[in-house]
Amino acid sequence: MTATVFQSNRTVQFSETDLAGVMHFSNYFRWMEDAEHAFLRARGLQPLTTVGESTIGWPRVQCACDFVRPLRFGDSVDLSLRVLRVGDRSVEYAIDFAVGGTVAARGTVTVACCEMAKGTLRGAAIPPEFRALLESCVDQAAASQRA
């Protein structure tokens, strides 16, 4: 783990594949969420937490994945998560999936900071303690390319 990249590894399970032994597309999105949660936990944050009297969560508002080559049953997959942007109320992540150093897929996820109460979600400013940690992880090279 560096300041801008969070690394993890997973193995494609049989239950995550289709009849051809290829990982089903929906699992890429599950893995991106799992990588985000592992990233937050590695920094002492939780994906669902109480701040003051509010419960804060991070629902997805946009997800995309470009598939370069299939992942197959038994593949050992390196996941690399980068923070691309921290807004007032949202965070954008990029997640690469690689096998043996070769990228198999590239995903992006934008999450919104929301207060959750009585079954409703309401957009909220990112709490200062979250913001400081997230901003310290922004991939500056990617941020400058986007500007």
- pLDDT tens for 4-55 read 799 999 999 999 999 999 999 999 999 999 999 999 999 999 888 887 778 9
Residue with tokens 């109460």: 117
Give pLDDT, residue 135: 93
pLDDT tens sequence across 72-123: 999 999 999 999 999 999 999 999 999 999 999 999 999 999 998 877 889 9
Residue 136 forms part of a structural domain: no
Residue 107 forms part of a structural domain: yes
Domain that holds residue 40: 6-127
The overall pTM is greater than 0.85: yes
* Euclidean distance between CA atoms 147 and 63, whole angstroms: 21
Residue 133 forms part of a structural domain: no
Residue with tokens 């890429």: 28
pLDDT at 124 over 60: yes
Residue 92 forms part of a structural domain: yes
Residue 22 forms part of a structural domain: yes
**Paired residues of 51 in beta bridges:** 54
pLDDT at 147 over 80: no
Backbone angles phi, psi at 115, to 5 degrees: -85, 135
pLDDT at 144 over 80: no
Residue 141 forms part of a structural domain: no
Average confidence (pLDDT) over 122-141: 90
- Structural domain tally of the chain? 1
